[in-house]
Structures are given as C-alpha cells and as structure tokens.
Amino acid sequence: MTLIQVNFLVVCFAVGVAGALLGFWAFSQRLGRQLDAQRRALDAERDQTRQVIRAELELLGQQQLAHQDVQRLALALWQAEQDARRWAEWQALRPTPPTLLAKRERPLARPLAPPQPPQPVQPVQPVQPRSSPPVPAVPPDSEPATSPVPLAPLTAARWEAVAPPERELTDEEIDALPPDLPVPTRVPGRKLPAPKGPVLRNL
C-alpha cells in the first residue's frame, strides 16, 4: 500500500469522525431546543394553572363574602323584627300611667290672659284692741237672775230636723225580715220637758 492510499484512508476516517461529531452536535442542539421548548411549555401551563386556581379562589372568596353579607343582613332584619314584636308585646302588657290618660283626656288649654300689672299694696292700718267692759262682781249671797224668756220646748218638727235621718232598708234586707215581725215604722221623736230651774244668763 502506497503512502497516497494511507493518507487517503486517514483523510476519509477523519472526515467520517468529523461528520459524526457534527451530526452529534446538531442532534444535541436540536434535542436541547426541544427540551427548552417543553420546559417553557410546562412553565407556561403551570403559570396558567396557577392563574386559574387564583381566579377561582378569588371568585369563591367573593361569593363567600356576599353570602356572609346576605346572612348578616337577614340576621339584622330578623333581630329588628324580634325587637319590634317584643316592644309591642311589652307596650300591650304595660298598664298606661294615669298621667298619660289625663293628658289624653284633658281638653285643649285655653290661651292664658296677658299678665296684669302689679297693684300697689296698701298699707295695713293697725287695729286697735277693743276694751271689754268690766264685769261686775256677783256677791255670794245674791241669787242668779232668771231669764225673763223661758226656753220653748223642742217640737216634733224641730226634733225631726235635729235628729239624724234613719237608714232606709234595702230590698234584700226587707226580704230577709221574718214574716211575723211588724212593718218597720219610724219612731216618733221624744219631746224634752222645759227646764224647771232658773237658767243662768250668759256673762
């Protein structure tokens, strides 16, 4: 084998090795690009999934807040209705004070008259004490003077006027009376006799 043939074989082998290396590099580059594309696709899908989950969570939170607001409003309305019903029952059971009834039944007050100017106060004249006449002394041996006019005895009409009126019997008391008792009659007034002794004159 000549030198030219050996060199040709070496060159062919080197070209083959270089082609293989170039093919491997190209394949590795292509494979790397595919891996990068797949990685980017996975990252994008992961980000999209996170965004969807975040949006769903926000929507659920808003729905929960709206539901809580509705429940709070319904609870406030129910509490207000219960308070109003308890107040109405308490007002119905509580007796109305007499002052309010008097105010309701009292007629409208008349307009007040304009105030009058104050009248001048007149000085009070001192009252002189009246001197009583001296009472004459009565001797012990003298007899008291008798009244010239004797006292008139009380008549029946004056006695009836002075005596307190009798209480009239009711129908039940009349029915309860026994049948053999007489019919109740008015007791005539008792006449007082005239005094026999002398009457002392008022000093």
Chain segment 18-43, per-residue pLDDT in tens = 888 888 898 888 888 899 999 999 99
Percent of the chain clearing pLDDT 90 (strictly above): 26
- The mean pLDDT value of the chain amounts to 72
User: Average pLDDT in the 121-139 region?
Assistant: 52
Q: Which residues of 93-102 are buried (b: 16+ CB within 10 A; e: fewer)?
A: eeeeeeeeee
> pLDDT digits over 144-161, tens only?
444 444 444 545 555 555
Q: What is the pTM of this model?
A: 0.31
**For position 172, what pLDDT does the model report?**
80
